[in-house]
């Protein structure tokens, strides 16, 4: 009898843990739409954004012009704009974010990763050298032209270098409504122009070598 009760208990615990794991993952929507309330108007704080009153939802919640213009350019000659459900209410609960990247000629989107999302990019304008580094320090690098699409896996450092003769524009999609972004700047090395040029030369040398086993060494 004790053995039977013990087995029942073990099965119960196993089922409970399974349900907990499932609940931690992103789940399907329980309703058609859930445009977000502006974070500035939040009175409760949850893992995500609360929905608007359905009576107040309009068609405007499902369109945005946030990607019409580039954001400000950083020291690397790149402009990165990330649009989440906080700026685009219709994205709420859909597990998506969008972005726009503009890179000056010889500009660089420096090494960074998104802890909660895979990123897929589409090149609208320009010629770009892009790549990511996996957990074995293996480099995967490609040259992208207009119309090309590339994917950067979740949580892996990646970069974009403009090697063309004009400014480049890229649009991106993330499979999370809050991808997050972690950059190696400014803690890993200084941001002087000399260091930036060293970093660009290192990336170009990886392209020239075509050796996937190369390991990114210190940029200092």
pLDDT tens for the chain, residues 1 to 220 = 556 545 554 444 455 444 444 334 455 665 678 888 777 766 666 667 888 999 999 999 999 999 999 999 988 899 999 999 999 999 999 999 999 999 999 899 999 999 999 999 999 999 999 999 999 988 899 999 999 999 999 999 999 999 888 999 999 999 999 999 998 765 445 555 566 667 777 777 765 554 343 333 333 3
Note whether residue 11 is domain-resident.
no
Q: Which residues are CB-neighbours of 1 under 8 A, at least 6 positions away? A: none
Residue 159 to residue 185: CA distance in whole angstroms: 13
Range of the domain at 79: 61-209
CATH number of the domain encompassing residue 83: 2.60.120.10
Residue 216 covered by a domain = no
Residue in the structure block whose two tokens are 């990763």? 113
Q: Is residue 123 part of a domain?
A: yes
Distance CA 199, CA 106 (A): 12
pTM: 0.74
Strands (E), 86-220: 97-103, 108-113, 119-125, 128-133, 139-144, 149-152, 158-162, 168-174, 182-183
Number of compact structural domains in the chain: 1
Residue 53 is given by DSSP the state P
Strand partners, 170: 101, 123
Q: Is 22 helix (H, G, I), strand (E, B) or coil?
A: helix
Question: Do the domain assignments include residue 18?
Answer: no
């Amino acid at each position: 009898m004790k053995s039977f009760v013990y087995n029942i208990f073990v099965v119960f615990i196993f089922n409970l843990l399974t349900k907990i794991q499932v609940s931690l993952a992103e789940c399907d929507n329980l309703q058609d739409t859930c445009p977000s309330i502006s974070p500035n108007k939040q009175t409760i704080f949850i893992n995500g954004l609360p929905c608007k009153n359905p009576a107040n939802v309009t068609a405007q919640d499902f369109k945005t012009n946030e990607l019409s213009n580039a954001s400000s350019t950083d020291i690397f000659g790149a402009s990165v704009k990330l649009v989440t459900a906080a700026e685009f209410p219709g994205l709420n609960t859909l597990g998506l974010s969008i972005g726009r990247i503009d890179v000056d000629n010889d500009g660089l989107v420096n090494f960074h990763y998104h802890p909660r999302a895979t990123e897929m990019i589409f090149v609208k304008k320009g010629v770009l050298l892009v790549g990511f580094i996996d957990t074995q320090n293996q480099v995967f690098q490609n040259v992208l032209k207009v119309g090309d699409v590339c994917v950067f896996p979740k949580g892996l450092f990646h970069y974009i270098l403009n090697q063309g003769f004009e400014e480049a524009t890229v649009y991106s999609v993330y499979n999370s409504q809050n991808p997050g972004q972690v950059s190696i700047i400014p803690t890993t090395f200084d941001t002087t122009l000399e260091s930036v040029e060293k970093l660009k030369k290192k990336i170009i040398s990886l392209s020239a070598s075509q050796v996937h086993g190369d390991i990114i060494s210190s940029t200092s």
